[in-house]
Amino acid sequence: MSDYLGYFEQNQGELLAFLTRMVEHESPTHDKAAVDRYGLFLSAAFGALGAEVETIPQERYGDHYRLTFDPPGGASEPEQLTVLCHLDTVCAIGELARRPIRVEGERMYGPGIYDMKGGTALVLFALRALREAGLSPRRRVVVLLTGEEEIGSPTSRALIEEEARKSAVVLCVEPPVAPGGNLKTARKGVGRFTMTIAGRASHAGAAHAEGINAITELAHQTLALAALTDYDLGTTVNVGLVRGGTRANVVPAEAHAEIDLRVATVAEGERVVPAILALAPVVPGATVRVTGGLNRPPMERTPAIGELFERARTLGATFGYEVSEAATGGGSDGQFAAALGIPTLDGLGINGDGAHADHEHILTDTLAPRGALIAALLHTL
């Protein structure tokens, strides 16, 4: 086995310099031009390693890129290995000026550095490590760079599923579980719903009885939604945003709510989603309309995912790195692949903390073993 760890230790300075350039390309999801500039920069770096670069243009969000690496002598396995990365971040243009890149000990701070520019940098340098060592993966490697993961991947899901169906294995370099760096072998499914309630407006003093209070109906529905939460099953239903009414002296005719659902299993999704969509009014005369559904399916820890994790743990042990696993409630593109039955390993990015927060950072002393693990997986799977 090649000295992957040594390669990353020797090239850590260069990797961090390149990662700095990545972070300097601010790429908020809703700024297509910014995401496209970053995508061109990053896809060119993969292209310099020999990738066949295909741009998949988008109208509203950033373009996607399919980067294909074919082993020089041809793949020895028919199915490919797909790596999932996303270009976009939640950080607005100007965030870098507010909290510039800085290094404090082993912590390197910067917007988007942990979620997920650091993980993408590891993939780039892992492929470079294999190339410089004269090593070829057993499979065709396809790296996807997508432009709108942070809002649920509305335009890239079909592309991800298309490539996943061709794959023996899918790797996702989202951040690991903080702070320990656990790989993610299970994720909760994520649902989003909008509730719209219609009542009837009237004067709150002179004609209160003639009104139908939409906010009162919303209160009943909020309690009904909360009752669907089951911590033992890993199910949570959260009414996170409500609005309604016009003035204190008017019986409100309308009310609205935004709802978040998390489920650990497909079976729970099949139980809870219909229950939310079937909610009926309590206040006489009110109407309730609910739209939405699961945006990301659950990633359950199947035996195949368990075997893939054990493979990663064994590879890590060859260079003294202990690999652990955990389940998480957050969502990622890896769930689309796992839902198709493809063995998927998530959370392969650099250790750190603070995704979507001011203290977002990576731990640079974990860069070498995390990069070595990705290189070993790309080479041997």
Q: Which of 88, 150, 163, 333 is catalytic?
A: 88
- pLDDT of residue 77 exceeding 90: no
349 exposure class (CB count in 10 Å sphere: 0-12, 13-18, 19+): buried
Give all domains of the chain, ordered by start, each with its CATH number. 4-187+299-380 (3.40.630.10), 189-296 (3.30.70.360)
* d(C-alpha 176, C-alpha 173), whole Å: 8
Has 88 been annotated as catalytic?
A: yes
In this structure, are residues 342 and 200 in contact, taking their beta carbons and an 8 Å threshold? Answer: no
CA distances from 217 to 33, 199, 229, 287, 336 (A): 43, 8, 20, 9, 36
pLDDT (tens digit per residue) in 247-262: 999 999 999 999 999 9
Q: For the chain, give the mean pLDDT.
A: 97
Q: Which of 36, 63, 149, 150 is catalytic?
A: 149
Q: Quick one: residue 285, left, alpha or beta (phi over 0 = left, psi -120 to 50 = alpha)? A: left
Describe the strand order of the beta sheet including 189-198 as a list of residue ranges: 236-244, 254-263, 189-198, 287-296
pLDDT of res. 91: 96
pLDDT of res. 356: 94
% of the chain surpassing 70 pLDDT: 100
Q: Which amino acid is at 257?
A: A
pLDDT (tens digit per residue) in 334-361: 999 999 999 999 999 999 999 999 999 9
pTM: 0.92
- pLDDT of residue 1 exceeding 80: no
Q: Region 131-160: what's the mean pLDDT?
A: 96
Has 149 been annotated as catalytic?
A: yes
Q: Region 87-101: what's the mean pLDDT?
A: 97
Q: Hey, what's the torsion of the CAs at 194, 198, 204, 210, to 10 degrees? A: -160
Q: Region 259-270: what's the mean pLDDT?
A: 97
Write down how long the chain is: 381
- pLDDT of residue 55 exceeding 60: yes
